[in-house]
Amino acid sequence: MKLLVLSAILSIFLSLFLLSDGQTRKNGLSLAERVQQLTEMTSKKAVLRFNGNKYRDFVKGAPRNYSVVIMFTAMAPSRQCQICRHASDEFTIVANSFRYSQTYSNKLFFAVVDFDDGSDVFLTLKINTAPVFIHFPPKGKPKVHDTMDIQRFGFSADAIAKWINERTDIQIRVFRPPNYSGTVALLMLFAMVGGFLYLRRNNLEFLYNKRLWGTGAVCFCFMMVSGQMWNHIRGPPFVHKTPNGAIAYIHGSAQGQFVLETYIVMVLNAAIVLGMILMTEAAQPKGDVRKRRIFAIIGLILVSVFFSLILSVFRSKAQGYPYSFLFK
C-alpha cells in the first residue's frame, strides 16, 4: 500500500515537472539559454543582426538580466537612407570597443534590426524613420530617454558611448581603427611642396608675395571659423534625414553641426570678406570713379545679403535670438 502511494506521489511530481518544462519551452528560451546564445553570437560578431523572431526571443522575452542596444536602420539602397551607412559604421565602432575592452560583460549586447528583415518590429514600435537607437533595459519597457536624440547629439561613436553610459552605467572607451589616409595625404602635400620649391629654387621671389600669404591666412581662417576642426574631432554626418523624409543641411542645435553646414558657412564668410574687400578698394582715392562706384555697390550687396544669410543660420541654431537682417 505504501509503495502504491509513493509511486503515485512520484508520478504527480514527474507530471508537474514535465508540464512546467513544457510550459517553459512553449514560452521561449530560458534566461541561461538566452545569455549563452547571445554570448556565443557576440564572440563571432560584435553587432548581432536580428529579425522579428530573434527580437521577440532575445529582447521581448522574459526574464532578462541584460540590456540590449538596437539600431533600427534601412541599409538597402532602395530605401535611400543616405546616413544609415555612416551611422552603422559608428555603431559598429562602439560595439567593437566594448567587445574588446576590459569592462566587457554579458550585461550589454548590441544588435541591429533592418527594415527589410524586421518590418513587423518597426510597426510594433511605431518607428517611421531611420536610423533610430533604442536601449532596452533588463526590466520594463524603454522610457523616453532610452531613445537617443540624434538630432541633438548626433550619432558619432563618442555620442553613442556617452548615451549608453547614461542609460546603463557602463563606460565604453571608444577605439577607432587606425586611419592612415590623413598621414598619406600630408606626406604627399609635403612632397609636392618640396618638389615645387626644388624646381623653382632659382626664383623664390613669390615667397615674399604679401598677397599670397594673405590669401593663405584668410583661407585658413575660413576653415577654422566654419568648424572643420570640430568635424575632425567629432566626426558628424554629412547631412541628416528628418523624420518627414526631408534632408537637413543645417543642424537645429548650437551643440552640433553637419559637414555640409561647415562648407555653407565657409562660403558665406568668403562672400562677406569679398564684399568688404570690394568696398575697401572702392574707398581708394585712385582709379576710375565709375569703377569704384560699381565696386562699392557690389560690395555692399554682397555684405548685406550674405551677412543676413549667415545671421539667419545663427538664428536657426541659437533658438530665441531676437535679431535679424533682411532674412529671418
> Which residue's entry shows cell 543641411?
249
Q: Which three cell numbers stand for residue 165?
A: 553610459
Instruction: Say what the alpha-carbon torsion angle 260, 247, 145, 133 is, to the nearest 10 degrees.
Output: -90
- Where does residue 104 fall: left (phi above 0), alpha (psi -120 to 50 degrees), or beta otherwise? beta
- What per-residue confidence (pLDDT) applies to 133? 93
Residues in Cβ contact with 256 at an 8 Å cutoff, skipping those fewer than 6 apart: 152, 153, 154, 236
Domain ranges of the chain: 26-168, 209-317
Residue 110 has pLDDT above 90, yes or no: yes
**CA dist., res. 180 & res. 189, Å (int):** 14
Residues in Cβ contact with 118 at an 8 Å cutoff, skipping those fewer than 6 apart: 50, 51, 52, 55
Q: How confident is the model at residue 128 (pLDDT cuts 50, 70, 90)?
A: confident
Distances (CA, A) of 279 to 49, 103, 112, 302: 60, 61, 56, 10
Contact (Cβ atoms closer than 8 angstroms) between residue 273 and residue 218: yes
Taking residues 184-198, report their average pLDDT. Answer: 84
The order of strands in the sheet holding 47-50 is 47-50, 108-114, 67-73, 132-136
Residues in Cβ contact with 111 at an 8 Å cutoff, skipping those fewer than 6 apart: 47, 48, 49, 50, 58, 59, 68, 69, 70, 71
**CA dist., res. 14 & res. 16, Å (int):** 5
| DSSP letter (8 states) at residue 185 | H
**CA dist., res. 56 & res. 35, Å (int):** 14
Contact (Cβ atoms closer than 8 angstroms) between residue 46 and residue 92: yes
Q: How confident is the model at residue 198 (pLDDT cuts 50, 70, 90)?
A: confident
- What per-residue confidence (pLDDT) applies to 179? 67
CATH topology of domain 26-168: Glutaredoxin (3.40.30)
Residues in Cβ contact with 128 at an 8 Å cutoff, skipping those fewer than 6 apart: 122, 243
Residues in Cβ contact with 82 at an 8 Å cutoff, skipping those fewer than 6 apart: 238, 239, 241, 247
Q: How confident is the model at residue 245 (pLDDT cuts 50, 70, 90)?
A: low
Q: Give the H/E segment covering residue 132.
A: strand 132-136
232 or 171, greater pLDDT: 171
φ/ψ (deg, to 5) at 19: -65, -45
Asked which of 44-53, 180-189, 277-286 is least confident by mean pLDDT, the reply is 180-189
